[in-house]
Chain A
């Protein structure tokens, strides 16, 4: 790398939170699959890089009928994908994980990183939005739990403050056993970002729809009663997304595919 920084690897949460409270320009290192790319290209030049993965509890991945699914900040995408309970209770999540990048990257990339990165085209946010997930943020001042639908502020912008650590993702138990799909438009499997992605999830008494790569943030189109009509969903998609023309895809194609994927998944779910 053509610049240097201080690398720290705190062993405890207290140490980590102290570091975040006192260091001016610290960035958190999770899987590094985005951060290190950005540092190597010179896009990011932090003075301090903080690896939190030595904190044992960050690797927690547990399901509890009360608390729901708790995914610690150190859990990788493949950890989630290979987890038996996730496959059984949250099959849509496993499916979305599988569509994310390549095998080696999934061995490093963390679930939380894919969310807090706040890329409009992140693969996991649509499914987590449909599952009504929240993020637990902790700092020296205390902790707060933010619903994912209030979490994203813009491209690469979230509600996280400088001194906060996104400690875990929580998926409520009420969303368990939901069925659905995440469809991702790409040119190449394994190396491509989503040009447009749609998740539709049907659970106990609800049907939720979310779209990525079609607005500055991932969009939760709506959480409806389970028998919502296709017309309502399709017109809400058009009303709530605001795709642009860019180097990857045209606005027109994105609008078309968002509706097509939603229609396809809803038809699959009706079977």
Chain B
């Protein structure tokens, strides 16, 4: 067992974890933060995407022990006091959510892009979400949501 202290969505947690504990399982089962999903468990689908020290990563491929001392942000951080963030609202507006399984990871990936590039091109958006599978939307609604969120969509 290892004792880890980590900051998740601005809150400090100190917990004991098994050395082999996967960060995604720790977030979901120990902290009850179930937005990040387990899809493939092998870094292919991106449903488990979270921010780890400012960068998006597949949390299914990170050991909880390794996240000791780090700062994590998950989709739970998006909505405040029960209301959706702007980015979430744009996803809603463009129907970029259907079954919802990919959405938590998708929004994390898109958020990272928008933080470093306020007006991404369609190519740059596609590049950013190449590791996030969506089997419902066909991606075009998601791309529209991001273009709209960055003020690039004419009405």
A interface residue numbers (CB < 8 A to B): 1, 3-7, 9, 29, 32-33, 36-37, 39-41, 49, 51, 53, 78, 101-105, 107-108, 189-191
Asked whether, in the complex, the Cβ of B63 is within 8 Å of the Cβ of A189, the reply is no
Given A1, A9, A33, which contacts B43 in the complex, CB threshold below 8 Å?
A33
Interface size on B, residues (CB 8 A): 30
7 other A-B residue contacts (CB within 8 Å) besides A29-B63, A104-B131, A108-B61: A1-B21, A3-B20, A32-B63, A51-B63, A78-B55, A104-B46, A104-B58
In the bound complex, what is the Cα–Cα distance between A3 and B18 (angstroms)?
A: 10
Max chain B Cβ within 10 angstroms of own Cβ: one of A33, A36, A37, A189: A36
Which residues in A have their C-beta under 8 angstroms from that of B44? 191
| Nearest chain A residue, comparing its CB with the CB of B40 | A37
Which residues in B have their C-beta under 8 angstroms from that of A37? 42-43, 61
Asked whether, in the complex, the Cβ of A32 is within 8 Å of the Cβ of B61, the reply is yes
In the bound complex, what is the Cα–Cα distance between A51 and B20 (angstroms)?
A: 13
Asked whether, in the complex, the Cβ of A40 is within 8 Å of the Cβ of B42, the reply is yes
Max chain A Cβ within 10 angstroms of own Cβ: one of B42, B57, B129: B57
In the bound complex, what is the Cα–Cα distance between A4 and B22 (angstroms)?
A: 11
In the bound complex, what is the Cα–Cα distance between A188 and B128 (angstroms)?
A: 15
Max chain A Cβ within 10 angstroms of own Cβ: one of B43, B63, B66, B128: B43
In the bound complex, what is the Cα–Cα distance between A104 and B22 (angstroms)?
A: 17
B interface residue numbers (CB < 8 A to A): 2, 18-22, 41-44, 46, 49, 55-58, 60-63, 65-66, 68, 109, 127-132
Which residues in B have their C-beta under 8 angstroms from that of A105? 43, 58, 61, 131
Within the complex, what minimum Cβ distance (angstroms) separates A187 from chain B? 13
Within the complex, what minimum Cβ distance (angstroms) separates B63 from chain A? 6
Asked whether, in the complex, the Cβ of A191 is within 8 Å of the Cβ of B131, the reply is yes
In the bound complex, what is the Cα–Cα distance between A191 and B128 (angstroms)?
A: 13
Within the complex, what minimum Cβ distance (angstroms) separates A245 from chain B? 25
Q: Could you list some 17 contacts between A and B, CB below 8 A?
A: A1-B20, A6-B19, A7-B20, A9-B65, A33-B43, A36-B60, A36-B61, A102-B130, A104-B57, A104-B58, A104-B109, A104-B131, A105-B61, A105-B131, A107-B56, A108-B57, A108-B58
Given A32, A49, A191, which contacts B19 in the complex, CB threshold below 8 Å?
A49
In the bound complex, what is the Cα–Cα distance between A32 and B58 (angstroms)?
A: 10
Asked whether, in the complex, the Cβ of B62 is within 8 Å of the Cβ of A9, the reply is no
Within the complex, what minimum Cβ distance (angstroms) separates A192 from chain B? 10
In the bound complex, what is the Cα–Cα distance between A29 and B62 (angstroms)?
A: 10
| Nearest chain B residue, comparing its CB with the CB of A102 | B131
Within the complex, what minimum Cβ distance (angstroms) separates B92 from chain A? 24
| Nearest chain A residue, comparing its CB with the CB of B54 | A107
